[in-house]
């Protein structure tokens, strides 16, 4: 793709954007001209489409003779057009524009809602109408007037009465309020309260049954909620909220305990109420608090408790523990249906490795993977497949990316390799025994921002290495020194020095493209160990793939035994006649590492077995490879990666966990690439024929294991203390609640008595707070870093994780792409019902001449007769008063006033099928 390197627009004078100027490399003037021309083209085409649509509507074949969808150019216009039927001619667009010039959108929504409600009231509308319209306008501004929530998310607003007879506002939310999001849901309640205060209406005073009804609904609701508040939190919100959060019944499940409650219409669950309280009031409490404090709104002090949730530890001033672990997300694993494969569990090794980026075929809510990975997963995923993913969002569409690493597989003969080319995988498919690692999943970092999720660590790839190298190549001398290591000529590389400081660059835009060219060329390098090692020492880069094993995946319990095996290994030259499968990656290095006896008694049949629920003890089974003695589990109850140990033994299992390519020669494991980095990271030198231990890795590992075991003892002691404390509190709480019930106290009072009694038992904290905090931090560091802590202490190079985060995923819903058919199949669009017989034949209905079916009642404005059509179907009369075949009245009809639900279902009436079909045939020229 040719790049435009015209003279670029410079930022305004006096504006210092620094080296990270986002305008560098962007032809702003050209883009502005193109964008303006593009929008003008869109407007012209939209005008043409509306003109054609208006002409079509004038034909009278639609319910209305005009196009119902209005056009708007900004938020204010969209709001006014969206609510045109509710506003009834009341203009709000100019007021919204003026407010947006001074305030943010959230503040504007509150002010305009109050203004509209006051204006409607002063215009003579009743209170309910005024509150309803004001609330809808405010919600429309919040949601940028692009969602259905302002129209259908609020079903109605009522004025109800408290026990003392005072009025209060009841906002009835419906299911579509979910589309508005938690912030808009929460602020809708605040807007309703601000309107209530503006119109001098009383606040809501709930009764105990009304509060308990909401608690029961949360307990019965089976839908997805981002947050389910506790009964105590529900009680606090419902009792303290100045307006009643009410709603339509959306579920089939009925409340048994509090089904018939005042101010609530039905016994069925109200989904909108649960969404607004759970995802709005609870989760978005900080947003509400910001506005209530700034506007000094009384009666909202209760929200401070929810806004401060999770911040208590920050306010104490004491040293507190904050975990650095990336927590697994299991939501994508729910509701799995048989036949939809799971490609990886939450954060589990073997799943897709996260890589940041965006391939050319990718797009919004999309992720990319190597096409060889698609083949390795038996074509369950292909281009366009919906895949449910662990993070950042709920799902993504799959697109191809040839720069992503492909899957790691185990062949029948035990060879372990990566395949990046789909053609190579197609050749080896029949030899693949197990897919060990799915490969990389390329996700744009903007997807995390769009889904409001924090970025998680990604592996050190050639992209990262290329970015590290750019800033080190500041001059031609640096470039020549770099190319001398690679043994390449300067002419084969891009011009310019990518690391040239911005202050010395003649043209920042040209320098931007120089860096782009260099970055693209650098990430295509395939470095040998010697080259990668020299660059790491000279430029402080980490070792890029394939010289960066997956150290995090190797359990610390395996390390002492593996060190013993490495000390007995042999370094030998790579035979000239060694053959690897075509397309095998990584490419073999000049030498290789032989681990004697590592493949003894290994058999591929073990990979046919499924992992049992509980693994047998190591003493009761014969493991492949040499007999070794492993460390007992350190932090957990079971040995990490125990099934890999049972299937492949220590040596082969460790090489697979580290992602090092190898094959079998007799009983030996031969590692062909990446082994130099393994020995470097574990304190070995390898200049000769055998690795030599230069650092006491065994002692470092033993100290680490001992410290972790001590931390485990401290943590177990504290867990036992907390368990005993909770048991004592539970006993006292039950006794207090029993006494309260015997005294006849209500549910809320009984709960409070129980909580107070439980709180009377003091929590004295851990026996040694400092030791407990240190143990927590050590356990967390071990979970985050694994043995990388040891590697960084044993080697003086820089080390970054190559696979810190895996993304769990499963197939989505491919069946939803299939054609949707009715059961039974549709045979006729006209509602002949059973008049056509079992086969719904139109001819059978015609033979009956007159049939009775459900149709809407409409009256012709020309002849005054009833007709179910938009244009009157009755025949025109001749001089003798007889209908003329093929000639109909054709006058426009209007809908008759109907009973409730009759508009949707119609009313039973008689129609002359024979005449209607005959007229249609004549008009079409069939007869």
Answer yes or no: is pLDDT of 7 > 50.
no
CA dihedral angle for residue 504, residue 509, residue 512, residue 518, rounded to 10 degrees? -90
The residue out of 257, 282, 314 marking a domain boundary is 314
The domain boundary, picked from 785, 804, 823, lies at 804
- In this prediction, residues 806-818 reach a mean pLDDT of 82
The tens digit of pLDDT for each residue in 38-68 reads 999 999 999 999 999 999 998 888 888 889 8
Whether 620 shows a pLDDT value over 80: the answer reads no
Assign 3-class secondary structure to 819-884: CCCCCCCCCCCCCCHHHHCCCCCHHHHHHCCEEEEEECCEEECCCCCECCCCECCCEEECCCCCEE
Check whether residue 644 and residue 590 sit in a common domain: yes
Together in a domain, 131 and 29 = no
Q: Are residues 639 and 497 in the same domain?
A: no
Q: What is the DSSP letter of 395?
A: E
- pLDDT score of 138 more than 90: yes
Structure token pair of residue 41 = 């083209």
Question: Per the domain annotation, does 390 fall within a domain?
Answer: yes
- Give me 900's structure tokens: 């409730």
**Out of 308-312, 412-416, 794-798, which region has the weakest mean confidence (pLDDT)?**
308-312
Q: Kindly state the percentage of the chain with pLDDT values over 70.
A: 94
Contact between 394 and 388 (Cβ < 8 Å)? yes
Q: How far apart are CA 139 and CA 300, in angstroms?
A: 20
| pLDDT grade for 2, boundaries at 50, 70 and 90 | very low
Percent of the chain residues topping a pLDDT of 90: 58
112 with 210, same domain: the answer is yes
pLDDT at 121: 93
Quick one: 656 and 556 in the same domain?
yes
Residue at a domain's end among 392, 415, 450: 450
Residue 658 and residue 650: Cα distance in Å, rounded? Answer: 12
Is residue 320 in some structural domain? no
* pLDDT surpassing 90 at residue 224: no
Residue 663: closest CA among 410, 433, 424: 410
Which residues share a beta bridge with 590?
A: none
Check whether 901 has a pLDDT greater than 60: no
Rounded to the nearest 10°, the torsion over CA 166, 167, 169, 174 is 100
Quote the CA–CA distance of 670 and 572 in Å, as a whole number: 10
Output the pLDDT for position 12.
46
- Other CB atoms within 10 Å distance of the CB of residue 348: 13
Question: Based on the domain organization, do 301 and 340 belong to the same domain?
Answer: no
CB 592 within 8 A of CB 670: yes
Domain contains 319: no
| Whether residue 524 sits in one domain with residue 480 | yes
DSSP state letters, 1-36: -PPP-PPPPPPPTT---GGG-TTTT--HHHHHHHHH
Q: Is 240 helix (H, G, I), strand (E, B) or coil?
A: helix
Same domain membership, residue 446 and residue 310: no
The most confident of the ranges 303-317, 685-699, 831-845 is 685-699
In this prediction, residues 205-212 reach a mean pLDDT of 93
Lowest mean pLDDT among 252-261, 670-679, 876-885: 876-885
Contacts of 530 (CB under 8 A, 6+ apart): none
Nearest one of 811, 809, 807 to 380, comparing CA atoms: 811
The string of DSSP letters for 144-171 reads TT-SSIIIIIEEEEEEEE-TTS-EEEEE
Q: Does any domain span residue 252?
A: yes
- DSSP three-state, residue 665: strand
Q: Which residue segment(s) compose the domain that 496 sits in?
A: 462-539
Task: Say if residues 154 and 177 touch (Cβ distance below 8 Å).
Answer: yes
* 3-class secondary-structure state, position 86: helix
Integer Cα distance of 263 and 242 in angstroms: 15
pLDDT of residue 409: 97
Statement: residue 763 has pLDDT above 70: yes
> Does any domain span residue 845?
yes
Band the pLDDT of 492: cuts 50, 70, 90. Answer: very high
Does the pLDDT of residue 1 top 50, yes or no? no
The confidence score (pLDDT) of residue 480 equals 94
* Residue 572: closest CA among 672, 668, 689: 689
How much is the pLDDT for 18?
44
165 and 274 inside one domain: yes
Task: Say whether pLDDT at 11 is over 50.
Answer: no
Q: Please, what is the average pLDDT of the chain?
A: 88
The DSSP call for residue 89 is T
* Mean pLDDT of the 742-761 span: 87
pLDDT given at position 577: 76
Could you give the C-alpha distances from 297 to 105, 204, 236, 282, in angstroms and in order? 18, 16, 18, 18
DSSP 817: G
In a domain, 819, yes or no: no
Q: Is residue 741 domain-shared with residue 705, that is, in the same domain?
A: yes
- What is the model's pLDDT at position 597? 94
- pLDDT computed for residue 179 by the predictor: 80
The label of the residue with tokens 């593009």 reads 38
SS (H, E, C) 336-376: CCCCCCEEECCCCCCCEEEEECCCCCCCCCEEEECHHHHHH
Closest CA to 372 of 421, 434, 428, 439: 421
For β-strands 432-437 and 408-411, DSSP reports them as antiparallel
pLDDT for residue 414: 94
The confidence score (pLDDT) of residue 299 equals 85
pLDDT at 17: 43
Distance set, CA 651 to CA 687, 699, 887 (Å): 22, 21, 90
Say yes or no to pLDDT of 927 above 70: no
Interval 503-532 mean pLDDT: 88
Are 491 and 510 within one domain? Answer: yes
In a domain, 6, yes or no: no
Does residue 908 lie within any of the structural domains? yes
Report the candidate in 846, 842, 859, 921 with the shortest Cα–Cα distance to residue 893: 859
Counted domains in the chain: 7
Tell me 451's DSSP state: T
Lowest mean per-residue pLDDT among 318-332, 555-569, 844-858: 318-332
CA distance 298 to 240: 11
Query: What is the helix (H) or strand (E) element at residue 287, kind and residue range?
Result: helix 285-294
Structure tokens given for 719: 């867990």
Say yes or no to pLDDT of 200 above 70.
Answer: yes
Torsion of CA 146, 152, 154, 156, to 10 degrees: 140
DSSP tag of 713:
H
Average of pLDDT values for 100-114?
92
Residues 518 and 573 in one domain: no
Q: What is the DSSP letter of 892?
A: B
95 bridge partner residues: none
d(CA 427, CA 785): 38
Coil, strand or helix at 436 = strand
CA distance 506 to 207: 74
Among candidates 363, 368, 374, 383, which has minimal Cα distance to 341? Answer: 374
Region 178-191 average pLDDT: 86
- Neighbouring CB atoms inside 10 A of 396's CB total 25
pLDDT at site 814:
72
pTM (two decimals): 0.78
* CA dist., res. 675 & res. 651, Å (int): 13
The alpha carbon of residue 437 and the mean position of all alpha carbons in its chain are separated, in whole angstroms, by 23
The pLDDT, as a whole number, for residue 769 is: 92
What integer pLDDT is reported at residue 824 of this predicted model? 67
Three-state secondary-structure class, residue 670: strand
């Amino acid at each position: 793709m040719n790049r435009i390197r015209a003279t670029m627009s410079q930022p305004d004078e006096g504006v210092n954007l620094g080296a990270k100027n986002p305008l560098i490399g962007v032809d702003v003037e050209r883009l502005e001209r193109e964008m303006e021309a593009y929008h003008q083209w869109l407007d012209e085409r939209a005008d043409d489409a509306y003109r054609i649509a208006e002409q079509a509507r004038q034909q009278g074949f639609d319910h209305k003779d005009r196009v119902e969808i209005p056009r708007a150019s900004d938020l204010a216009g969209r709001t006014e057009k969206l609510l045109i039927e509710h506003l009834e001619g009341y203009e709000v667009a100019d007021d919204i524009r003026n407010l947006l010039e001074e305030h943010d959108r959230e503040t504007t929504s509150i002010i305009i809602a109050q203004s509209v409600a006051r204006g409607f009231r002063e215009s003579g509308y009743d209170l309910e109408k005024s509150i309803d319209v004001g609330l809808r306008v405010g919600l429309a501004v919040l949601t940028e007037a692009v969602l259905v929530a302002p129209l259908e998310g609020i079903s109605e607003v009522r004025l109800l009465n408290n026990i003392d007879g005072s009025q209060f506002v009841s906002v009835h939310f419906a299911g579509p309020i979910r589309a508005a999001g938690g912030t808009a849901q929460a602020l809708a309640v605040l807007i309703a309260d601000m309107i209530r205060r503006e119109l001098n209406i009383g606040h809501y005073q709930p009764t105990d049954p009304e509060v308990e009804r909401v608690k029961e609904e949360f307990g019965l609701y089976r839908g997805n909620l981002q947050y389910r508040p506790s009964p105590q939190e529900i009680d606090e919100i419902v009792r303290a909220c100045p307006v009643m959060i009410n709603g339509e019944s959306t579920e089939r499940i009925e409340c048994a305990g509090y089904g018939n409650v005042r101010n609530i219409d039905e016994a069925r669950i109200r989904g909108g109420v649960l969404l607004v309280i759970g995802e709005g009031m609870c989760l978005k409490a900080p947003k509400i608090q910001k506005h209530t404090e700034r506007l000094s709104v009384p009666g909202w002090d209760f929200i401070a408790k929810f806004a401060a949730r999770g911040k208590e530890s920050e306010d104490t001033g004491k040293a507190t523990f904050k975990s650095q672990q990336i927590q697994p997300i299991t939501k994508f694993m729910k509701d799995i249906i048989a036949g939809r494969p799971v490609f990886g569990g939450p954060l589990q090794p073997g799943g897709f490795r996260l890589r940041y980026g965006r391939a050319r075929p990718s797009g919004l809510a999309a992720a990319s993977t190597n096409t060889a990975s698609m083949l390795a997963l038996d074509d369950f995923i292909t281009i366009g497949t919906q895949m449910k993913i662990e993070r950042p969002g709920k799902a993504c569409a799959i697109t191809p990316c040839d720069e992503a690493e492909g899957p790691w597989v185990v062949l029948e003969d035990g060879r372990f390799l990566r395949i990046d080319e789909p053609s190579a995988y197609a050749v080896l498919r029949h030899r693949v025994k197990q897919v060990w690692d799915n490969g990389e999943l390329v996700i744009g970092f903007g997807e995390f921002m769009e889904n409001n999720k924090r970025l998680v660590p990604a592996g050190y790839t050639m992209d990262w290495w290329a970015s590290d190298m750019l800033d080190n190549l500041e001059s031609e001398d640096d470039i020549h020194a770099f190319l001398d290591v690679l043994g390449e000529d300067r002419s084969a590389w891009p011009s310019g020095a990518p690391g040239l400081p911005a202050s010395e660059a003649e043209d920042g835009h040209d320098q931007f493209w120089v860096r782009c060219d260099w970055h693209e060329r650098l990430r295509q390098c395939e470095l040998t160990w010697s080259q990668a090692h020299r660059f790491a020492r000279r430029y402080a880069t980490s070792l890029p793939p394939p010289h960066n094993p997956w150290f995090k995946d190797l359990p610390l319990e395996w390390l002492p035994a593996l060190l013993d095996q490495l000390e007995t290994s042999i370094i030998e030259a790579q035979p000239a006649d060694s053959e690897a499968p075509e397309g095998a990656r990584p490419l073999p290095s000049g030498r290789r590492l032989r681990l004697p006896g590592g493949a003894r008694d290994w058999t591929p049949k073990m990979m046919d077995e499924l992992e049992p629920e509980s693994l047998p003890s190591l003493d009761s089974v014969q493991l492949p490879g040499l007999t070794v003695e492993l460390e007992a589990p350190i932090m957990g109850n079971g040995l990490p990666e125990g099934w890999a140990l049972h299937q492949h033994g220590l040596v082969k299992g460790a090489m697979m966990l580290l992602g090092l390519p190898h094959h079998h020669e007799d009983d030996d494991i031969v590692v062909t690439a990446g082994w130099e980095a393994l020995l470097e990271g574990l304190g070995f030198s390898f200049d000769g024929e055998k690795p030599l231990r230069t650092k006491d890795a065994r002692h470092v590992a033993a100290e680490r294991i001992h410290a972790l075991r001590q931390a485990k003892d401290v943590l177990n002691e504290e867990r036992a203390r907390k368990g005993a404390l909770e048991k004592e509190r539970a006993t006292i709480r039950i006794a207090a609640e029993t006494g309260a019930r015997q005294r006849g106290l209500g549910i809320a009072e009984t709960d409070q008595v129980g909580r107070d009694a439980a709180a009377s038992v003091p929590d004295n904290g851990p026996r040694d707070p400092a030791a407990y905090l240190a143990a927590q931090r050590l356990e967390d560091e071990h979970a985050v870093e694994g043995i990388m802590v040891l590697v960084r202490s044993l080697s003086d190079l820089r080390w970054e994780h190559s696979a810190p985060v895996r993304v769990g995923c499963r197939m989505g819903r491919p069946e939803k792409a299939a054609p949707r058919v009715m059961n039974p199949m549709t045979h006729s669009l006209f509602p002949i019902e059973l008049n056509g017989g079992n086969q719904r034949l139109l001819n059978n209905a015609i033979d009956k001449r007159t049939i009775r079916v459900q149709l809407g009642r409409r009256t012709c404005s020309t002849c005054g007769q009833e007709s179910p059509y938009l244009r009157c179907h009755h025949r025109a009369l001749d001089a003798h008063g007889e209908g003329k075949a093929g000639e109909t009245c054709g006058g426009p009809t209007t809908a008759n006033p109907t009973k409730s639900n009759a508009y949707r279902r119609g009313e039973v009436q008689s129609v002359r099928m024979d005449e209607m079909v005959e007229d249609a045939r004549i008009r079409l020229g069939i007869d």
